[in-house]
Structure 1
Amino acid sequence: MIVGLLSIFGAYGLAIALVHLGRSRFRWNRRKPIHYVLITRNNAMQIEWYLRTLLFVSRLKARTIHIVVMDERSEDDTMAIAGRLAATRPDHIEISEWNESAQLDQLITRYENEEVVLVRLSNEKEMQNIPLFQ
């Protein structure tokens, strides 16, 4: 009886391992990453929540994301908070200072063939582009 149970558990374990192996081999080719450009100005109260939400939803959807935080000369701790999170996830979060509008054009041109979502955190209509609100 024990041998029968062990063989059943072994068959289930092997099936699970094969399914995960198959998914991991084909998943990375399936979708291109999404690039979020968050334009901030004095969003210290919300920036950590936005960044953590984007990272959490990307894990739930098994989607690779890259976040660029562009700051328009904030007078609060927005950049300090974003910088702290970027230090923990340097492969997903990039910090940039907003100097001129041409800088945004260069950023969008850099990701020309990929999906780019531009979100100005002070604009509620643009905030609907964040996946949690969809």
Structure 2
Amino acid sequence: MIVGLLSIFGAYGLAIAMVHLSRAWFRSEHRRPIHYVLLTRNNAMHIEWYLRTLLFVSKMKARDIHVVVMDERSEDDTLAIAERLAESRPNQLEIMEWGGDAQLDEWIARYESEEVVLVRLSNTKELQHIPLYQ
């Protein structure tokens, strides 16, 4: 009877270990992070909502993301709000000031083998690339 119980516990333990190993393999091999580039200009009213939405949806989908906020010389508090959020999540949020198209092309080329989503927040059609709209 003890041998039977030990074999049942052993089978359950082996099944649990296999599920965890396969999940870890799948996540590391097939789930590369998504890189979002948000181009902003005077979006203080919405930037916090956009960033929190991206972070929340990525957590719900168990998907790693990296968000770069490129500010095109905003005249409101857009940059300050984004920097405040970036302080609490330094590995997920990066703040850059707009340096022209060459800077954007260089950043995208750095991650060309991964998924990069470019969203200009002033263009309502491009907002559909933010996961909440999907």
For the residues of structure 2 that align with 1:47 and 1:53, how far apart are their CA atoms? 10
Give unmatched runs, 5+ long, in structure 2. Answer: 1-10
Structure 1 residue 28: Cα displacement: 2.4
RMSD over aligned Cα atoms: 2.2
For the residues of structure 2 that align with 1:24 and 1:59, how far apart are their CA atoms? 16
Matching residue of 2:73: 73
**Which letter maps to 2:120?**
R
For the residues of structure 2 that align with 1:52 and 1:15, how far apart are their CA atoms? 37
Mapping for residues 46-125 of structure 1, pairs under 5 Å: 46-125=46-125
TM-score, normalised to structure 2, is: 0.83
Find runs of 4+ consecutive structure 1 residues off by over 6 angstroms: 11-18
Matching residue of 1:128: 128
Identity of aligned residues (%): 73
For the residues of structure 1 that align with 2:96 and 2:112, how far apart are their CA atoms? 19
**Which letter maps to 1:89?**
R
Structure 1 residue 102: Cα displacement: 0.7
Matching residue of 2:4: none
TM-score, normalised to structure 1, is: 0.83
Aligned length: 127
Mark the CA change 1:13 to 1:53 in structure 2 (over 3 Å): closer, same or farther.
farther
